[in-house]
Amino acid sequence: MKTEEGQYHEAVLLHTSLSWMNIRPDGVIVDLTFGGGGHSREILNRLGEKGRLISFDQDPDAVRNVREDNRFTLVPFRFDQLDLQLSRLGITAVDAILGDLGISSHQIDTPDRGFSYRFDAPLDMRMNPEEGETAAEVLNSRSHGELAKIFRVYGDLDSAGKMASRILEFRRSRPVLTTIDLKEALGNLIPKDKPAAFLSRVYQALRIEVNEEMTVLESMLSQTLKCLRPGGRLVIISYHSLEDRMVKRFMRSGNFEGEPMKDAFGNSLTPWKVLTRQAIQPDAEEMERNPRARSARLRVAEKLS
């Protein structure tokens, strides 16, 4: 492995998530979010010579962490291409799929990626910095209503409407291009007692919008049913209430409304057996060691025959 994990990213719920995956030595496993390689590295440790690991990551920086191992393949695409890319590799079914939906420490701590309010940097926030709109382009092109919806729905911010108004007012004099610009535009809407918590939600909302995270997540989850063999495990770690709700509903019913279809006798036709009645959270020791794990929620389901 070409990375020093402690400097790149500490994998959240590492051993807990892998224990739920029920990894066989000869299994075919998918890691949807390679990142710093923490989960992938441990999966390879549990696979035998005949096992295979397919990891996805659209971030070009992820290639730095690739392990030279003939059992391992890195797919440099977004995970909503799950079915297509597995088909291209000749894989018809896999034994387990893991998705850690959090942003990596490396991305947050690299100033020019624009993921953190801690640095005076361009507002980028793209997971793949070579594709799509930047956060600055979103802030400078969207209407009042569109901006307010982003902050309200993805950031759960009560002042979403006022925030949108401030940004539009700021735009009349100059564009919102950097962290400093955004803070200046929001002004006294940033609470003095808890500025970090507020700005974290602002940046979360913009990141979700920029990367179309909810749309991509829904597409990926839908594809897992086709890609998993019967008895295969789906293990998802989410960090946002909207993500967790989507995962919970999908695992409960096989759709995103949360209510399974029923046969003529009223029996549920859900394709999943939910293995975690409640979402699993990191223990106190892990949260103290890695504060970014505090909002993590792990859910697991097994595909039925």
CATH number of the domain residue 293 falls in:
3.40.50.150
Indicate if 44 and 170 belong to the same structural domain: no
Indicate if 235 and 261 belong to the same structural domain: yes
Percent of the chain residues topping a pLDDT of 70 = 97
In a domain, 115, yes or no: no
In a domain, 264, yes or no: yes
Residue 299 has phi, psi (to 5 degrees) of -130, 145
Distance CA 25, CA 53 (A): 11
pLDDT of residue 4: 40
What DSSP line would sit under the chain, residue for residue? ----HHHH-PPTTHHHHHHHHT--TT-EEEES--TTSHHHHHHHHH--TT-EEEEE---GGGGGG----TTEEEE-S-GGGHHHHHHHTT---EEEEEEE-SPPHHHHH-GGG---TTS--B----SSTTSS--HHHHHHHS-HHHHHHIIIIIH--TTHHHHHHHHHHHHTTS---BHHHHHHHHGGGS-SS-HHHHHHHHHHHHHHHHTTHHHHHHHHHHHHHHHEEEEEEEEEEE-SHHHHHHHHHHHHHSSSSS---B-TTS-B--SEEE--SS-B---HHHHHH-GGGTT-EEEEEEE--
Indicate if 217 and 299 belong to the same structural domain: yes
Indicate if 222 and 95 belong to the same structural domain: yes
Indicate if 226 and 95 belong to the same structural domain: yes
In a domain, 74, yes or no: yes
In a domain, 192, yes or no: yes
Choose one of 166, 187, 210: the last residue of a domain: 210
Indicate if 187 and 244 belong to the same structural domain: no
In a domain, 112, yes or no: no
Domain that holds residue 161: 128-210
Amino acid at the residue 98: L
Indicate if 194 and 144 belong to the same structural domain: yes
pLDDT of residue 62: 84
Strand pairing report for 28-31 and 94-100: parallel
In a domain, 111, yes or no: no
Looking at the 3D structure of the chain, how many domains does it have?
A: 2
Indicate if 53 and 33 belong to the same structural domain: yes
Indicate if 89 and 228 belong to the same structural domain: yes
User: Which parts of the chain register pLDDT below 50?
Assistant: 1-8
175: left (phi over 0), alpha (psi -120 to 50) or beta: beta
Indicate if 204 and 219 belong to the same structural domain: no
pLDDT of residue 7: 42
For residues 210 and 135, the answer to whether their CB atoms sit within 8 Å is yes
Choose one of 173, 195, 210: the last residue of a domain: 210
CATH number of the domain bearing residue 167? 1.10.150.170
In a domain, 161, yes or no: yes
Strand pairing report for 52-56 and 28-31: parallel
For residues 216 and 236, the answer to whether their CB atoms sit within 8 Å is no
Amino acid at the residue 140: N
pLDDT of residue 2: 43
In a domain, 119, yes or no: no
Choose one of 155, 181, 210: the last residue of a domain: 210
- Residue 251: beta bridge partners? none
pLDDT of residue 9: 55
pLDDT of residue 114: 82
Indicate if 17 and 148 belong to the same structural domain: no
Sheet strand arrangement including 228-238: 72-75, 52-56, 28-31, 94-100, 228-238, 297-303, 272-274
Distance CA 164, CA 150 (A): 9
pLDDT of residue 115: 87
Indicate if 93 and 150 belong to the same structural domain: no
pTM over 0.75: yes
